[in-house]
Amino acid sequence: GENVEQHPSTLSVQEGDSAVIKCTYSDSASNYFPWYKQELGKGPQLIIDIRSNVGEKKDQRIAVTLNKTAKHFSLHITETQPEDSAVYFCAAITRMDSSYKLIFGSGTRLLVRP
Amino acid sequence: GAVVSQHPSRVICKSGTSVKIECRSLDFQATTMFWYRQFPKQSLMLMATSNEGSKATYEQGVEKDKFLINHASLTLSTLTVTSAHPEDSSFYICSAPLGSLHTEAFFGQGTRLTVV
């Protein structure tokens, strides 16, 4: 089955700097890779996603890149702000017969220092 | 964006009682919903897939009789923790997929269950 590894587990950056979180997956058939932001005591919020037919996607300060050959994808946050502080999860979709499920990485706790 | 509403956000119950958590898709229909459990500072662990009009599919190691799932309509799935014990205390989160490929998943706000 699919296995998703995420690094680093914690990341501390100065406000205004960039933050990069990396994930690898094992199932070459996976074709959808979302990223979620989770604030304390709340459910995960989808912030960006990418499908396997593109290599990069950008939405304002957030971008995601995908390398299908190497089976890894990354989240890039530029010009970080204190409100970006949260736990970020990557995920990959795996299909089983007619159903599917998301497999999550272990999470990255991002701290943006003012 | 799509909205998934989960209720209650917090619940405290006594050992031995049952607790029901509701998950609603507010502006779209969801034939499938997912229930997750999250321990402090850990990732989301899929418990079961809720299927409208049929039995839920449970992940390995999840007790079916302990965590009852009902998906009676296209907008509502419920998770009932039966005969709750302190070790069932956790953060429970539901999600529902949206989109033509049913891959974009939107999550509820989560339910913090504390069993005393």
Whether residue B97 is preceded by a cis peptide bond, meaning omega within 30 degrees of 0, is: no
pLDDT in tens, chain B (116 residues): 668 999 999 999 999 999 999 999 998 888 899 999 999 999 999 999 998 888 999 999 999 999 999 998 999 999 999 999 999 999 999 999 876 555 678 899 999 999 99
- Is B43's Cβ below 8 Å from some Cβ in A? yes
Q: Give how far Cα A105 sits from Cα of A28, A89, B12, B109, Å.
A: 16, 6, 29, 20
CA torsion, ordered A40, B95, A18, A105, to nearest 10 deg: 90
CB B104 to CB A105 under 8 A? no
> Which chain B residues have a beta carbon less than 8 Å from that of A105?
43
Least CB–CB distance from B108: residue in A43, A49, A107 = A43
Question: How would you class B16 by CB atoms within 10 Å of its CB: exposed for 0-12, middle for 13-18, buried for 19 or more?
Answer: exposed
Backbone region of residue A106 per phi and psi (left: phi > 0; alpha: psi in -120 to 50; beta: other values): alpha
Q: How far apart are CA B60 and CA A105, in angstroms?
A: 19
pLDDT digits 0-9 by tens, A81-112: 999 999 999 999 887 666 778 899 999 999 99
Q: How far apart are CA B71 and CA B31, in angstroms?
A: 8
Residue whose structure tokens are 């209720």: B7
CB A46 to CB B34 under 8 A? no
CB B107 to CB A107 under 8 A? no
**3-state class of B102 per DSSP?**
coil
> Which chain B residues have a beta carbon less than 8 Å from that of A34?
103-105
